[in-house]
Amino acid sequence: MPTKDPIKKAANQRRRYWRNRAKALARKARYREKHKEEIRVRNEKYRAENRDEINRRHRAKPKKGRAAHQLRFPLELLFPEFFREYRRDMQYRTLYKITAAEFDAKKAEQGNRCATCRRSFDEVRAVADHNRRTGKFRAVLCDSCNLAIGHAYEKPGTLRALASYIQTA
């Protein structure tokens, strides 16, 4: 016996849909294949008649990336410095198990210079160097030195061979 309760009715419809979902999808696919040209013409006609409305809806969609994120979190617009520091701190905590303050302290301890090439961090970007196997933070390096270590797979023998190659060449 059909129910009059709208909630139970909706639940029954969902249950019936999921029970017969494969058949319904197959039926839709057969229909689309059989009436492919008719559907294409109908869609083209709709798009031609409603071009302005379609464009308006498209422009009204939230932007991807940063703009969408800002729409969801308006507090970030009010306190950008706080959230910038918060994201930076969470990045160091997640990747290197240190805080941003510890990173800054290590950078100051090194005299605001790269631990290997001694270039100033005013000239180059400072990055956290860590052991890729253990994940332990080692020092603050410039981006170039960190990439060189990474490309050598952190093997001292490879780095020594590169150094001797450069000296002999």
Cα separations in angstroms, 90 against 27, 115, 162: 50, 24, 36
Q: What is the distance between the alpha carbons of residues 63 and 61, in angstroms, rounded to a whole number?
A: 6
pLDDT tens track, the chain, 169 positions: 567 888 888 888 888 888 998 998 999 999 999 999 999 999 999 999 999 998 888 887 766 655 555 555 567 777 888 888 888 999 999 989 999 999 999 999 999 999 999 999 999 999 999 988 888 999 999 999 999 998 988 889 999 998 898 898 7
Q: What is the distance between the alpha carbons of residues 99 and 101, in angstroms, rounded to a whole number?
A: 5
The residue behind tokens 């240190």 is 98
Alpha-carbon torsion 87, 93, 99, 104, what sign?
negative
Torsion of CA 76, 81, 85, 88, to 10 degrees: 70
Q: What is the distance between the alpha carbons of residues 43 and 111, in angstroms, rounded to a whole number?
A: 66
Q: Which domains does the chain have, with CATH numbers?
A: 6-59 (no CATH), 80-168 (3.40.1800.10)
